[in-house]
């Protein structure tokens, strides 16, 4: 669905009015991630919203790293976030920005508040400060340090800045109202001591602004017109407005909130995703099982599927849980339209065509896609020995089984009709080979005797193919709400979330498959070559998603 065919959401309406009535001359939004982890599917909602609005209303969208906490942040995350935003298909306005670019200005503004008598250095221990803060039902009490003189505060803050105080010894607090019903207004900390190098500013600072002191002012400095954030920041808005109202800022951004994306069978919290990585439940942030954008990319999810999904779920102010089946639907839909077709046998069973000459090889042609003529046709070598799927052959079967049965016919996809004549078994009684006859007068037509085979199965030449490993992923969690209530999400990691198959045989053209290029392995699902594992001789293919929703079936049982 495009934005034209869908009713406008509340933010589109607000922006349209602001522009029409001249309150805002140009829309300016931003996406402000904290570089403390990789972006996940929840962030995609915010990215598509902020960048999408800028595109729709001919405005700009900045990428700004909200990097006020050096303890948890890393350059690796900065790079990954940039890669992921670009991959989703968006371009930020100018260079990427950093809240740390504004540390000098924020420090100036802290001094400004002190001089105005609106900030003070407080020596309460974190524990005492908690007691003084009060609760939701009880007002707080004034800190005994609240009435320090401007001179004393300036001198103490200077000492904090110069590293003359220990971490936790004191902090700078805004002087607002300890009895305010909104706890965020009870003299919040605006600067704290952290003797720690920062990934952008190095050793320059040992005091860092709080997120709340930095966020709104950064928006003002960048001339952001609409500061769009998630609902949990609604309670912080009065504080942001207080800072904006009490500081000589160059602009007054307005904040609007929308509901976060929650997906069932998924966790979207960087902290929890980091735990999965650190405790090795997965193999890194970009593990194809992860709901991170880099994990989804490596798994073969096209960026457009994610954009379509974000469009489909819409933007509201009410919290709800979205069925992950919707995301899967968008992925299948996109892949079905665009993924070239190919054949790959997962568990090979050898077939020998007794009436096909040894050493002969012909090249059959198969369409790249059932309807997309722009996708090139494939060349399939056809030889005396082939592989079919082990589960596609039975010695005996009832009529429901429309595959190869001893004494019966089946069509090889894009090729001839064969008939199973004889079974070869090993000492253990397992079938190791099926001897078949091939009817060479059946390419693109029914057999001359009019007996039409009931089934079509996929195959590859046993003489010319790509030996590969295939990784079958399933949902990372087996519970629809793995982190709800007081559940520990780690208890619900799906034990069958990865199955690795070796010795799979793919059609020869897949030797040239590139990572992120998706294929439909006919009758099997959508796959792409892994970007990390495998070699030129033996690639690894990741299953992006099956052809059908097996979970819906499971639930309807
Ligand atoms: P997390 O809880 O995963 O740590 P966060 O909100 O702390 O998420 P940020 O890096 O601060 O992560 O997020 C950057 C932006 O992405 C913020 O504006 C935030 O509101 C938005 N965002 C994060 N998670 C979601 C989500 N699940 N749905 C929609 N927007 C989200
Ligand atoms: Mg955050």
pLDDT for the residue numbered 450: 86
Cα of 206 to ligand 2 centre, how many Å? 22
- Give tens-digit pLDDT for 33-88: 999 999 999 999 999 999 999 999 999 999 999 999 999 888 999 999 999 999 99
CB-based contact 103:214 (threshold 8 Å):
no
The protein residue whose alpha carbon is closest to atom 25 in ligand 1 is: 42
The protein residue whose alpha carbon is closest to atom 18 in ligand 1 is: 229
pLDDT for the residue numbered 556: 56
Strands 456-457 and 409-412: parallel
Residue 535 pLDDT level (bands cut at 50, 70, 90): very high
Give the phi and the psi of residue 51 in degrees, each rounded to 5: -70, -35
DSSP string, 228-259: EEEGGGGGGHHHHHHHHHHS--S---EEEEEP
* Percent of the chain predicted with pLDDT > 70: 98
- By the 10 Å C-beta count (0-12 exposed, 13-18 middle, 19+ buried), 424 is classed as exposed
With the most atoms of ligand 1 within 8 angstroms of its CB, the residue from 230, 232, 236, 276 to mutate is 230
**45 annotated as ligand-binding:** yes
**Structure tokens belonging to residue 445:** 């037509």
Whether pLDDT at 1 is above 50: no
Neighbours of 23 (CB within 10 A): 12
Ranking 233-247, 297-311, 432-446, 538-552 by mean pLDDT, the lowest is: 538-552
First to last CA, the chain: 32
Q: What is the mean pLDDT of residues 112-120?
A: 98
At which residue do the structure tokens 């992006």 appear? Answer: 544
At which residue do the structure tokens 């306005």 appear? Answer: 93
Cα of 98 to ligand 1 centre, how many Å? 17
Cα of 67 to ligand 1 centre, how many Å? 14
CA 387/CA 433 separation, integer angstroms: 9
- Give tens-digit pLDDT for 245-281: 999 999 999 999 999 999 999 999 999 999 999 999 9
CA 14/CA 20 separation, integer angstroms: 10
Cα of 143 to ligand 1 centre, how many Å? 33
Kindly give the number of the ligand 1 atom that is closest to the alpha carbon of 39. 10
Q: Work out the mean pLDDT of the chain and round it to a whole number.
A: 96
Q: Is the CB of 268 under 6 A from ligand 1?
A: yes
From residue 422, how far is each of 350, 387, 434, 435, 444 by CA, in Å? 12, 15, 6, 5, 26
CB-based contact 123:145 (threshold 8 Å):
yes
- Give tens-digit pLDDT for 318-359: 998 999 999 999 999 999 999 999 999 999 999 999 999 999
- Give tens-digit pLDDT for 486-532: 999 999 999 999 999 999 999 999 999 999 999 999 999 999 999 99
Neighbours of 111 (CB within 10 A): 17
Q: Is the CB of 123 under 6 A from ligand 1?
A: no
**211 annotated as ligand-binding:** yes
Whether pLDDT at 162 is above 80: yes
Neighbours of 349 (CB within 10 A): 18
C-alpha triplet 323, 328, 334: angle, nearest 5°: 140
Nearest listed ligand to the Cα of residue 229: 1
CA 327/CA 24 separation, integer angstroms: 35
At which residue do the structure tokens 């082990």 appear? Answer: 390
With the most atoms of ligand 1 within 8 angstroms of its CB, the residue from 37, 38, 43, 234 to mutate is 43
The protein residue whose alpha carbon is closest to atom 31 in ligand 1 is: 43
pTM over 0.85: yes
Residue 454 pLDDT level (bands cut at 50, 70, 90): confident
User: Sign of the CA dihedral 111, 114, 115, 116?
Assistant: positive
């Amino acid at each position: 669905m495009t934005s034209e065919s869908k009713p406008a959401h509340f933010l589109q309406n607000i922006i349209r009015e602001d522009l029409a009535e001249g309150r805002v001359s140009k829309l300016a939004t931003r996406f402000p991630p904290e570089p403390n982890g990789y972006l996940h599917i929840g962030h995609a909602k915010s990215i598509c919203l902020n960048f999408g609005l800028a595109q729709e209303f001919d405005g700009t969208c900045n990428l700004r790293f909200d990097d006020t906490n050096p303890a948890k942040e890393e350059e690796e995350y900065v790079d990954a976030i940039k890669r992921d935003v670009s991959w989703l298909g968006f371009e930020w306005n100018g260079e990427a920005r950093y809240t740390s670019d504004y540390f000098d200005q924020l420090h100036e503004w802290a001094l400004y508040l002190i001089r105005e008598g609106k900030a003070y250095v407080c020596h309460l221990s974190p524990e005492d400060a908690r007691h003084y803060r009060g609760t939701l039902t009880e007002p707080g009490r004034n800190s005994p340090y609240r009435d320090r003189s401007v001179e004393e505060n300036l001198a103490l803050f200077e000492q904090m800045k110069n590293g003359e105080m220990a971490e936790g010894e004191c902090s700078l607090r805004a002087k607002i109202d300890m009895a305010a019903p909104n706890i965020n207004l009870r003299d919040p900390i605006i600067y704290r001591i952290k003797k720690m190098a920062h990934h952008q500013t190095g050793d320059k600072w040992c005091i860092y602004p709080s997120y709340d002191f930095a966020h709104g002012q950064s928006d003002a400095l960048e001339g952001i017109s609409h500061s769009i954030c998630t609902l949990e920041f609604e309670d912080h808005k009065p504080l942001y407005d207080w800072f904006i109202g009490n500081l000589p800022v160059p602009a007054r951004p307005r904040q609007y909130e929308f509901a976060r994306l929650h997906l069932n069978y998924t966790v979207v919290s960087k902290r929890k995703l980091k735990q999965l990585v650190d405790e090795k439940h997965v193999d890194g942030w970009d593990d194809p099982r992860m709901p991170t954008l880099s994990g989804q990319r490596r798994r073969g999810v096209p960026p457009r599927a994610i954009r379509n999904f974000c469009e489909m779920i819409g933007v509201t102010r009410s919290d709800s849980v979205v069925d992950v089946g919707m995301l899967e639907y968008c992925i299948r839909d996109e892949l079905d339209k665009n993924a070239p077709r190919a054949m790959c046998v997962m568990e090979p069973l050898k077939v020998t065509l007794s009436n096909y000459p040894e050493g002969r090889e012909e090249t059959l042609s198969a369409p790249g896609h059932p309807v997309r003529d722009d996708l090139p046709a494939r060349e399939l070598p056809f030889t005396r020995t082939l592989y079919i799927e082990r589960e596609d052959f039975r010695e005996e079967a009832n009529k429901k089984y429309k595959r190869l049965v001893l004494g019966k016919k089946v069509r090889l996809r894009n090729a001839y009709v064969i008939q199973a004549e004889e079974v070869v078994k090993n000492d253990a009684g397992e079938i190791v080979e099926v001897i078949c006859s091939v009817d060479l007068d059946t390419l693109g037509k029914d057999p001359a005797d009019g007996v039409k085979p009931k089934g079509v199965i996929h195959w590859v030449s046993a003489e010319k193919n790509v030996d590969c490993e295939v990784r079958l992923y399933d949902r990372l969690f087996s519970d629809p709400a793995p982190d709800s209530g007081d559940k520990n999400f780690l208890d619900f990691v799906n034990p069958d979330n990865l199955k690795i198959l070796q010795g799979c045989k793919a059609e020869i053209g897949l030797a040239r498959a590139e990572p992120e290029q998706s294929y439909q392995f006919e009758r099997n699902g959508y796959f792409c070559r892994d970007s990390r594992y495998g070699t030129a001789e033996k690639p690894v293919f990741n299953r992006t998603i099956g052809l059908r929703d097996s979970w819906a079936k499971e639930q309807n049982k």
